[in-house]
């Protein structure tokens, strides 16, 4: 088939949560099956890019750089890399709850600081290999979960106790936590290395 009909036979569009497929007979089918949305895919891509940048930086560090402590934080570079890796499951569990319209209740910044302090004690001796493997594994799982979200789930909002019970969207929580997390700590690690005389600015 040539012309417009032939072109339509090769095209598939995504519109919100519906998949619209054009067939050679000129008919269209609509399916609620989830493939992915461009928004979810873009979020997942950004998460992966940040995690990969942190993993690549971690893999390039010397043993001395791995043990550098972050000013104002006190944790070593190694502990912080492992921290980012270990938080993806919890961050995604909370995000998926918001995607279904469930509030995040009882989670406070004090509780987050306590989790971080306990993690730092328990993983003070984490190795590069261990932390990088966990980072790559958990970031890949988080990205996969994000790609399965529909636009309506990204737009769904619920009260979030970390923000004084403000009603915020799933996309906001994803961007402010699992997506942003690696970027935030990569920048802090680079600053710490630069201040310690171990230049890792780029």
- Tens of pLDDT along the chain (202 residues) come to 444 333 333 333 333 334 444 455 555 454 444 445 699 999 999 999 999 999 999 999 999 999 999 998 899 999 999 999 999 999 999 999 999 999 999 999 999 999 999 999 999 999 999 999 999 999 999 999 999 999 999 999 999 999 999 999 999 999 999 999 999 999 999 999 998 876 554 4
Q: Where are the domains of the chain?
A: 1-33, 38-195
Nearest to 163 by CA among 118, 117, 98, 119: 98
What is the phi-psi region of residue 164: left when phi exceeds 0, alpha when psi lies from -120 to 50, beta otherwise? left
Tokens, residue 131: 């932390």
Topology (CATH) of 38-195: 1.20.120
- The pLDDT value recorded for residue 6 is 37
CA–CA separation, 27 and 17 (whole Å): 19
- The pLDDT value recorded for residue 147 is 96
Q: How, if at all, do strands 157-160 and 28-31 pair?
A: unpaired
- The pLDDT value recorded for residue 196 is 83
């Amino acid at each position: 088939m040539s012309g417009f009909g032939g072109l339509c036979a090769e095209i598939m569009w995504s519109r919100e949560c519906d998949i619209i497929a054009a067939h050679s007979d000129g008919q269209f089918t609509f399916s609620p099956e989830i493939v992915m949305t461009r928004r979810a895919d873009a979020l997942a891509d950004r998460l992966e890019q940040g995690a990969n940048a942190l993993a690549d930086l971690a893999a390039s560090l010397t043993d001395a750089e791995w043990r550098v402590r972050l000013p104002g934080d006190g944790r070593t570079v190694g502990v912080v890399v492992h921290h980012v890796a270990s938080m993806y499951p919890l961050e995604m569990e909370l995000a998926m709850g918001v995607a279904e319209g469930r509030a995040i209740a009882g989670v406070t910044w004090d509780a987050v600081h306590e989790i971080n302090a306990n993690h730092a004690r328990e993983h003070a001796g984490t190795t590069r290999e261990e932390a990088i493997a966990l980072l790559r594994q958990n970031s890949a799982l988080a990205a996969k979960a994000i790609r399965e979200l529909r636009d309506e789930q990204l737009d769904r909002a619920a009260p979030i106790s970390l923000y004084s019970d403000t009603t915020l969207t799933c996309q906001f929580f994803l961007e402010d936590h699992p997506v942003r997390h690696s970027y935030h700590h990569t920048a802090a690690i680079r600053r710490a290395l630069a201040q310690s005389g171990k230049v890792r600015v780029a």
